[in-house]
Amino acid sequence: MKKFFAYVDKHSGFFAGILLTIMVLLSFFSMYYDSAIMDEVAHVPAGYSYDKYHDYRLNPEHPPLAKALSGVPLLFQKMVFPVDLPDWSEKINGQWEVGWKFLYERGNDPDTILLSSRIPMLLIMVVLGIYLYLWTKKLFGRKAAVLAMILFAFSPNLIAHSRFVTTDIAATLGVMMGLYHFVNYLKKPTWSNILIAMVALSVAQLLKFSCFVLYPMMGLILLFVLFYKKKPASWLHYVSSFVLMCLGSLVIINLVYLPFIYKMPVELQHETISYYFPVMETTDAKELVGQYGQQIMHTLTNSPITRPFAYYLLGLFMVFVRVTSGNTTYFLGETSNQSWWYFYPVAIAIKTPIVTLLLTLGALIFSVGLGVRFGKKLFTDLPKGIWRKTKTIWNRKFQAVWNTLDQWVAIFVIVLFVGTGIVGNLNIGLRHMFPMYPFWFMLIAGAFVLMHTMLKGKVRFASNVVISILVVLYVATNLMVFPHYLAYFNELIGGPQNGYKYMVDSNLDWGQDLRRLTQFVDENNIDEIKVDYFGGGDPHYYLKDRYVEWHANDGKTTGWIAVSATYFQNSKYYSRVRGEEDYSWLEAYEPEAIIGHSILVYNINK
């Protein structure tokens, strides 16, 4: 075993490449039969329209980079895009109607479109993995980098979302890439590092608007560093270069938006700004945005130089309103448009593999013990005299913090995302916690490799055996849920088959299993099936004349009926607040099947 670990250490780059290749293959073959999820109906045609028509009228609430990447493969295929629709030419942001026509009603092959547009998303995942490997290797060495890559490559949750044309894995890359280069700049504030950090910060903003949080995060990290710096000259250099970095990133954002917007009519941009801002004037904060933001964006739109940045601001403010408005969510048997403070802690606990949770517990115990040991050492063997003692403690403290700055940044990211999830108002899915996951894996790997170096003899051998067993179990957990990664839940609740009882939407059911439902209907020779489907697929396109549209409000029925888990659970909320019918009557029956753990299929004979 010792020779094996030495071999892994020597060839860590090779192993990291193998792990990323396996991750790509698992992602590709698991997504091959996935139907369109809800958000892809808007994102896929939007990205294609940016690349083909240089027009940003669709989906302004997300930045362009990930969507534009997804549209590149479609440029090399013959596509019929519904530019003749009033939803394109007249309606403000008619993304859903245009997307639906593009995918299902203009003679295009939706499955080919989806597969082609998802492949660039895998590239984003690969780049994220490379950053994780490089950063972990720099901090903790090659063995830790390989362990972190194992946790990354076989994470069911990351694989689940790496395959879709969405922005959550992109946001994770943005946060990690931005902070990686920012810490490099802090440790070595050369002009080249400033420029690289500026570009990384810009790319992050172009991947997802939630990456805007990097600006205040970096500001706080900089203040933390300056607190320990003694020379005012270094303060001035850091502050001035950071301001330059932020301003420069805004210029880059403006330049990147330009090719995606320059053929969009200026009048349409003004109309889009005016359309969205009156909706925002509902609270004091939104009223302030509506009062001044609209005027600023109209002014910026009037100039061809700043017009792209005005559209970036529009999307940013749209997300601000979305986050503060909340969302109707099913959680632990309840459905509400209010948030639960424990939503994300519970989501992490039941959707993260047990092995990861056990490794986290072990890493925490080890780190606390190491911290106590370090703290005692810090205050021992110091020279006599209060002044000299205080000065020595301060110098040691500064050196310790500076040497472990990367680790403190990783901890900061985890605390920030979990903390904002607890106090925030938007309970949707675990995917909003993804930016902390690579840092989580990095710290776990670092803790265990450090612990490994401190152990000797039989104890070290035993720890190697335990970690090896846990790694095998972790990989097995991934393979057992293939290809239904989105529906992954751990053994604490009995696995994916019980997931719909706890959480739905993007945690389980985003519409990915419509094609699998069609396969079930074919195999069972079903002539007619009532379907209440949540997602981005078209039941009529796949099921043809066998499909009967159905909703909870249609009441009880007989025969075959398939209900998406999201609608199954949310129907109880609308029954309570609107007095509508719900699907509680189906609880008296056992499902004939649960397709992909997300669509409940019943055969009601009476």
Task: For residue range 48-87, list pLDDT tens digits in order.
Answer: 999 999 999 999 999 999 999 999 999 999 999 999 999 9
Segment 23-36, tens digit of pLDDT: 999 999 999 999 99
Segment 158-211, tens digit of pLDDT: 999 999 999 999 999 999 999 999 999 999 999 999 999 999 999 999 999 999
> Mean pLDDT across the stretch 232-258?
93
Segment 564-584, tens digit of pLDDT: 999 999 999 888 888 889 999
Q: Verify that 314 and 242 share a domain, yes or no.
A: no
DSSP state, 582?
Answer: -
pLDDT surpassing 90 at residue 230: no
> Mean pLDDT across the stretch 229-247?
85
What pLDDT, on the 0 to 100 scale, is given for residue 386?
46
Q: Verify that 174 and 220 share a domain, yes or no.
A: yes
> Mean pLDDT across the stretch 524-539?
97
More confident residue, 286 or 223: 223
HSE toward the beta carbon, residue 455, CA cutoff 13 A: 15
Question: Could you please report the per-residue DSSP string of 353-374?
Answer: -HHHHHHHHHHHHHHHHHHHHH
Residue 552 lies in a domain: yes
pTM tops 0.75? yes
What pLDDT, on the 0 to 100 scale, is given for residue 588?
94
Q: 163, 126 in Cβ contact below 8 A?
A: no
For residue 439, name the pLDDT band (cuts at 50, 70, 90).
very high
Number of structural domains found in the chain:
4
Dist. CA 189–CA 240, nearest whole Å: 11
What pLDDT, on the 0 to 100 scale, is given for residue 473?
98
Q: In the numeric block, which tokens belong to residue 432?
A: 């909003």
Q: Verify that 386 and 509 share a domain, yes or no.
A: no
Dist. CA 337–CA 573, nearest whole Å: 9
For residue 402, name the pLDDT band (cuts at 50, 70, 90).
confident
What pLDDT, on the 0 to 100 scale, is given for residue 359?
97
Residue 475 lies in a domain: yes
Closest CA to 9 of 176, 117, 140: 140
Strands 547-549 and 593-595 turn out to be unpaired
Q: Verify that 361 and 411 share a domain, yes or no.
A: yes
Residue 505 lies in a domain: yes
What pLDDT, on the 0 to 100 scale, is given for residue 289?
59
Q: 478, 590 in Cβ contact below 8 A?
A: no
Query: 605 burial class (0-12, 13-18, 19+ CB within 10 angstroms)?
Result: exposed
Segment 115-142, tens digit of pLDDT: 999 999 999 999 999 999 999 999 999 9
| Amino acid letter for position 584 | S
- SS3 category, 532: strand
DSSP state, 537?
Answer: S
Residue 576 lies in a domain: yes
Lowest model confidence (mean pLDDT) among 261-270, 341-350, 419-428, 491-500: 419-428
pLDDT surpassing 50 at residue 284: yes
Strands 547-549 and 529-532 turn out to be parallel
Residue 29 lies in a domain: no
Residue 407 lies in a domain: yes
Q: In the numeric block, which tokens belong to residue 316?
A: 């940013």
Query: 10 burial class (0-12, 13-18, 19+ CB within 10 angstroms)?
Result: exposed
Q: Verify that 291 and 230 share a domain, yes or no.
A: no
What pLDDT, on the 0 to 100 scale, is given for residue 199?
98
Dist. CA 224–CA 366, nearest whole Å: 26
What pLDDT, on the 0 to 100 scale, is given for residue 387?
44
Q: Verify that 272 and 361 share a domain, yes or no.
A: no
Last residue of a domain, one of 229, 255, 281: 255
Last residue of a domain, one of 255, 282, 300: 255
Structural domain harbouring 292:
265-325
> Mean pLDDT across the stretch 305-326?
90
Q: Verify that 465 and 363 share a domain, yes or no.
A: yes
For residue 393, name the pLDDT band (cuts at 50, 70, 90).
low
Residue 527 lies in a domain: yes
pLDDT surpassing 60 at residue 44: yes
Q: Verify that 277 and 372 share a domain, yes or no.
A: no
> Mean pLDDT across the stretch 235-242?
91
**Mean pLDDT for all residues in the chain:** 92
Residue 245 lies in a domain: yes
Q: Verify that 312 and 351 share a domain, yes or no.
A: no
What pLDDT, on the 0 to 100 scale, is given for residue 377?
62
What pLDDT, on the 0 to 100 scale, is given for residue 376?
63
Q: Verify that 348 and 475 share a domain, yes or no.
A: yes
Dist. CA 375–CA 377, nearest whole Å: 5
For residue 406, name the pLDDT band (cuts at 50, 70, 90).
very high
Q: Verify that 348 and 474 share a domain, yes or no.
A: yes
> Mean pLDDT across the stretch 457-465?
86
Q: Verify that 471 and 537 share a domain, yes or no.
A: no
Q: In the numeric block, which tokens belong to residue 498?
A: 């019980």
